[in-house]
A = this chain, B = another copy of it.
Amino acid sequence: MNIHEYQGKDIFTGFGLPVPGGSAVQTVEDAVASAKEYGLPVMVKSQVLIGGRGKAGGVKFCETVEDVKKNATNILGMDIKGHTVRTVLITPAVDIDTELYIGMLIDRNTKRVMLMASAEGGIDIETVAKDTPELIFKQIIDPRFGLLDHEAMEMGMRLCPDDIKRARQLASAMQKLYVAFIESDASMAEINPWIFTPEGVGHAIDAKVSLDDNAMYRHPDYEALRDLEAEDPSERAAREAGLSFVKLSGNVGCLVNGAGLAMATMDLVKYYGGQPANFLDIGGSSNPEKVVSALNIILADKEVKAILFNIFGGITRCDDVANGIIAATNSMDINVPIVVRLTGTNEAEGRALLAKTDLGTADTMDEVVKKAIELAG
């Protein structure tokens, strides 16, 4: 789950990272009030779950109340790459001497958290990584010992080789960021930029944090950080129904058990010239209610012209799945054609059940995809 800058900053603050104050507001009036509270100049920063806010005009420096009024008015409601700005962060503007980058993520190869830092802050770190990888310093963190003083100091001194005070601040910030990362079950946490004022005081002036969905049970309060308005309504419904779903722009709805098979099914739709409408993994369950939820989510998309089921009954028995599909479709009013491919455990029984309905059937994955594309027209 990606969270907004202001939410990430709240987490950072909780772990002792130096973050300038700020208020997340949703109206121009509140923006002005906050600006007065913190004292001008302030930054007005759009809170959207997408990068490139600055280039899109979603981050503005304001010296006067008039500036705040004007920029908040412009930014609130602005569309940034398909994301509507509903909230802006009002935060005191700080003088910037240097901009640095500090980030942490899960490194799959070492199976550990990796710290990345660069003196090239404030810009897209992926560009730096691609063009000048030598400017990014990395440190793999042993979870048994955490980010040790000397490891953090070495990074700090690499970034600020001539200023031990700044190096120490960076080292301390990195150690706090690591604790924040682990304790909040992050999958990614970036401070870009970390800045130093001309006086040499460091601040985290941005925060990009992703939280691990699997760990939400440990952080019941983090559920409140989810921006429900920014979420696609169908993805939200799927999440609430416990389904893995991603909306796409095609017309062939796909209901598949298993993530890999679901992706392969989408790929096959494309291969045969069709356009998948979604990724949807209904998991191992044959529960009719889950099938109903899945169908409702897919049918909410008016572009969908045909629906395919691609089910490989391994553990789940095909007869159970067939019953689930039949119960679900019977309980609903469905106007688009459905074609079902069921194979694996108890395949014959499952097919026999489907044969008694008017649902289309197919023997193979290829066949179900081809039929669905044809039905979608």
Contact = CB atoms under 8 A, between A and B. Distances in A.
A218 interface: no
Interface in A144-172: 144-145
A144 B146 CA distance: 9
A217 to B, nearest CB: 15
Contacts of A145: 144
Interface residues of A, number: 2
A364 B145 CA distance: 49
2 contacts: A144-B144, A144-B145
Stoichiometry, copies per complex: 2
A215 B237 CA distance: 51
Contacts of A144: 144-145
Interface in A123-163: 144-145
A331 to B, nearest CB: 40
**2 smallest A-B Cβ distances: which pairs?**
A144-B144, A144-B145
A295 to B, nearest CB: 40
A161 to B, nearest CB: 29
Nearest to A144: B144
Nearest to A146: B144
A145 B145 CA distance: 9
Nearest to A145: B144
A144 B143 CA distance: 8
A215 to B, nearest CB: 16
A144 B142 CA distance: 10
Nearest to A142: B144
A315 to B, nearest CB: 27
Nearest to A143: B144
Interface string A318-331: 00000000000000
A145 B142 CA distance: 12
Interface string A298-327: 000000000000000000000000000000
A101 to B, nearest CB: 30
A75 to B, nearest CB: 41
Interface string A198-222: 0000000000000000000000000
A248 B126 CA distance: 68
A142 to B, nearest CB: 9
A144 to B, nearest CB: 4
